[in-house]
Amino acid sequence: MMKKSKSPGMNFPKSVKRLSISTLLFVFAMTVLSLFALPKLQTQYSLKQFLPADNPLLKKDENVRQLFQLSEAQPFIITAKVSDDQKTWFEKDKIQSLERLTDLLAHFPGVKNTLSLATVQGAINNEDGLSVGPLLKTLPQEKWQAETVSNPLISPTLISKDGKTASVIVNIKSLNTQDLLKLRQNLQVTAMASVPFAQVEIGGTPAVQTDVGVLLQTEIRNFVVLGFFACFIVLGLVFANWSPLIAAFIVIICANIIVLAVMALAGYPFSVLSSTIPILTTVDVVSLIIHSLLRYTEERKNQPHLSHHQLVNYTFKVLLGPNLIASTTTMIGFLALLTVKVPLIKDYGLTASIAIMLGWLVTTVTLFPLLHFLNPPKARQWAWSKARWGLYLFRRSGVWAFLIVLVCTALAFKGQTLSWSARLFDDLPMNHQVRLSTETIDKELGGMIPVDISIKGQPDSWNDPALLGKLDQLLTDLRKIEGVGSVVGLPDLVAAANIHHNRLPASRSSTAEVFFLYSLSSNSPLKNFLNTDSSNTRVSVRTQDLPGNKLQEVVSKIEATTLSSFPEMKVELTGMGRTIHHLNNELSHELIFGFWQSMAAICLVLVFVFRSLRWALVACIPNLVPPAALLGFLALSETPIKPSVAIIFSIALGLAFNNTVYLLERLKLIQKTSKSKTLDIEKALWREGNPCLIASLTLLAGFSVFMASYFAMNRIFGFYMLLSMAAGLVGDLILLPTMLKSCPWLLTSVPWKKERVMATAASLLIAFFISFAPMKTYAQEPAAGAVTVEQIGERMSANLKTKDEEFNTKMKIIEADGSSKDREMKIWRLSLGKKEHYLLVRMQKPQDLKGTALLATLKGEQEEKWIYLPSTKQTRRLTGESGQGGILGSELAVEDFDFNREQGAKNELKKQIEVKGKKYFVVESDVNATSANYSKVVSYISADDYLPVKAECYDKQGKQMKVLDITGYKKVGGNKFRAGKIKIRNLQNKRGTEILISQVKLDQGLKPTRFTPKALAED
């Protein structure tokens, strides 16, 4: 039986007592002082928070705003829908009420100007002459509806097509958060009082910012309360007395107050992301407390001769390192976000990292001193008992490990088809007033997403009636594009003047008259559509809030339509619709694959902790399970990818490493204590399994509160955080122990087997040869009359694409010192359609790989890989990924031959050059968001035969890394070409690779029966 410990007051050394009291007083004093900083905390929300600083696309936006004198501050948009279904706004008393409201709001503090149907300016040619002023005042009432609904300048922006919903646009000055909130409240009250016959809603970007800010304040309070409640339920289930709950309560309160005070003093506001900081702090602190108290309980059983105070001190010393390492790995996951160029995410990464380390510090200096004054914690028997469930795992350790790897591989493969269909405003709470207003604007008042088209010619170009006619036709064509809500351009302003019999003037002089007429207005809209020298005009397009991929299609159609109408002019698209989805997708790519940076940093830390590279690498293996699970489930559920979702990858990785650290630290301690070279993984899991499981349950309980969020963004964040932690639990407590049980050689010195070398090389080879499949290219802003990137891609495809082929390959890998090694292989390929491809590779040299056969098939969305090992005469299915490294140890990477990157890359034809009498196209591909190794690739394509001859690859720092030379093209099978030699030089590590291709046979009529697992062993 366990010996009963003495009361906390006995055997308490005075020095320890004084130190404990001093430490607690210091922490309590810091907590009290921190309370005075909390009022400085603010909440903030903006779509621009997720945009990178100093981005070229955003600079273009700024240039257009300055050129056409557009306001940088987005307006409030007040929507008012007539309550009576039988009536419209086209009644005199209603228009008078709207005019009074518009004039009243114009004098509010912080308002720059206002605009509505009742005050919109117009130029009218009537019997009394030319009239410039409020349009409705110059028109008889019976013409109001006909004239306004048919006018693109007015409808649907200021009045819906059915005449029932009107809007008041309130342009504002630059305001701080408090003034913005106050103005929003005044607008609501005044509008409701001024037009009581209508349903009033406040929308627009400022309304979204203010309303979300208010909701965030409520959400933070809810998170704190629910997080406390969830964590204390877990603590109550784990411990049988009150001491742990009292200690946890004190530590959590102190840690959260100090963390929030640091945020306030550093000037970091609460955003949608940083609203998670209190939960992160709470679950991190509770996890540390559980590990510490359960370790205390274990040592109390193992060392009954020690007093309570001695056990506290011993536990403190034993867990100081592991607790610090666990917190450090979590911190690194957040620090990886500092590499992102978006200020909001960088700030979140920094504040979360600070919160994690402050949580560790406060827990360390508060928990153990508190334990000296509290009764010993008593864990319930199930919590401190050994992890008997581990016995079931070890009975079938190989099966468990294989199944987990298989499932993770399948999920990772499925994750290649992520959904990029996010909407901009779908994070707003359903049925909330600002969400309803946003939907009203989107559906009835011309759309929410602005796209600006700038068309530049020579000075005075847009005085030409012929060009105005072409532009007018363009506006008509753009309005027909599905998804476009409204289009306004210079011809609409000219036509609205109505001073000629025709819609547009017939001469330059007539055009000049219209422009002069608009100049008479005190607030002429002409300056927003025509620059000073009439060389540049702007077309304002607003689209509906479509899914990201659909919006990009609409923008591409807008661009293509404009380019076809004005091929001789410079066309440039800017605005939110052009930039924000592109930037968000680019950022999301960076965040998703940024977890490799976190992995590398954590691995480096663990190398020093374990003093072994092998142990550090093994620690990384189970932590690939969370990202694989996330990729798979995101793809299966078709969850639209946003930065707020992509950010989970780095965070989840840092949290997942906690259990790995505790388990391997325990394993290393057992190995050191027993002085045995064998791995006693059963004993390590036996002792550490339950603490890790309970700590993970605490994390799950804490993050589950996000499921009660107002915001879909936070609910999705919470769900996938729960999924990633559950996957981390599988990786750490199932995959890692069973893997080490089945493969102890991972942490002990054993020779590599021949089959492992062949399987690794095989999986790398498959990805390389699949890369020869033709890829589609998208044109990027072609110059008038010049060849486009799309045309170059089509010509290349015509020269290279075949249904099937067979060829021999020799690969020579050259080291920096001049030594080399050779590989030889024979390849068969068959492509029956876009979604049906077969590839078979048979190794010829070196001798130890001779006979190894590789098969890859792609049917629809299903890809399968097989390998034949002649040593065992077995055909096995490959479940591993090919990775990002060099193929067979060469300098050749899979992506080196992907000249036409389809997803996320921006391809641009930079110039044509002439070398030794031959001309070449120079195509630059921005691959920073899609490549693991490169920031850009510059390709040189022969202008005579449209064949790639050279590629220059640049690393992430913009320095040239590799040069690929492709030579020796020969005509094969009629009009197709194949290169005879490919040479790769790495300028940084001085290594190289040469590839010779020979005995090429094309279109032989190969059949799918040639590409089966059975066929691997037949040749």
Average pLDDT over all residues of the chain: 79
Query: Which range, of 433-437, 674-678, 767-771, 964-968, averages the lowest pLDDT?
Result: 767-771
Q: Determine contact, residues 455/536, Cβ cutoff 8 Å.
A: yes
Q: Determine contact, residues 869/852, Cβ cutoff 8 Å.
A: yes
**Residue 14: its pLDDT value, please?**
80
CA pair distance 755, 872, nearest whole angstrom: 9
CATH 2.50.20.10 in the chain, residue ranges: 754-1016
pLDDT, mean of residues 20-40 = 90
530, 533, 535, 538: CA torsion to nearest 10: -10
Q: What are the pLDDT digits (tens) for 259-286? A: 999 988 888 877 767 777 888 888 888 8
**Residue 563: its pLDDT value, please?**
93
CATH 1.20.1640.10 in the chain, residue ranges: 25-39+211-420+585-746
Residues whose CB falls within 8 Å of the CB of residue 560, separated by 6 or more in sequence, listed in order: none
CA pair distance 700, 967, nearest whole angstrom: 57
Q: What are the pLDDT digits (tens) for 708-747? A: 777 777 788 888 888 888 888 888 888 888 888 888 887 7
CATH 3.30.70 in the chain, residue ranges: 75-203
Q: Determine contact, residues 404/730, Cβ cutoff 8 Å.
A: yes
**Residue 880: its pLDDT value, please?**
44
42 or 370: which leads in pLDDT: 370
Whole-angstrom CA distances from 653 to 445, 595, 632 are 44, 7, 16
Residues whose CB falls within 8 Å of the CB of residue 15, separated by 6 or more in sequence, listed in order: none
End-to-end alpha-carbon separation of the chain, Å? 70
CA pair distance 997, 968, nearest whole angstrom: 9
**Residue 6: its pLDDT value, please?**
47
CATH number for the domain whose boundaries are 25-39+211-420+585-746: 1.20.1640.10
Binned at pLDDT 50, 70 and 90, residue 28 comes out as very high
Q: What are the pLDDT digits (tens) for 657-669? A: 878 888 888 888 8
Lookup result for tokens 């005019």:
99
**Residue 190: its pLDDT value, please?**
92
CA pair distance 701, 707, nearest whole angstrom: 11
> Reduced to 3 states, what is the DSSP secondary structure of residue 977?
strand
- Evaluate if residue 29 carries a pLDDT over 90: yes
**Residue 638: its pLDDT value, please?**
82
- Name the amino acid, one letter, at 749: S
**Residue 773: its pLDDT value, please?**
35
For residue 896, give the nearest of 998, 985, 787 by alpha carbon. Answer: 985
- Evaluate if residue 536 carries a pLDDT over 80: yes
CATH pick for 75-203 out of 3.90.550, 1.10.10, 3.40.50, 3.30.70: 3.30.70
Query: Which range, of 326-340, 426-440, 687-701, 945-959, averages the lowest pLDDT?
Result: 426-440
CATH number for the domain whose boundaries are 754-1016: 2.50.20.10
**Residue 559: its pLDDT value, please?**
92
**Residue 498: its pLDDT value, please?**
57
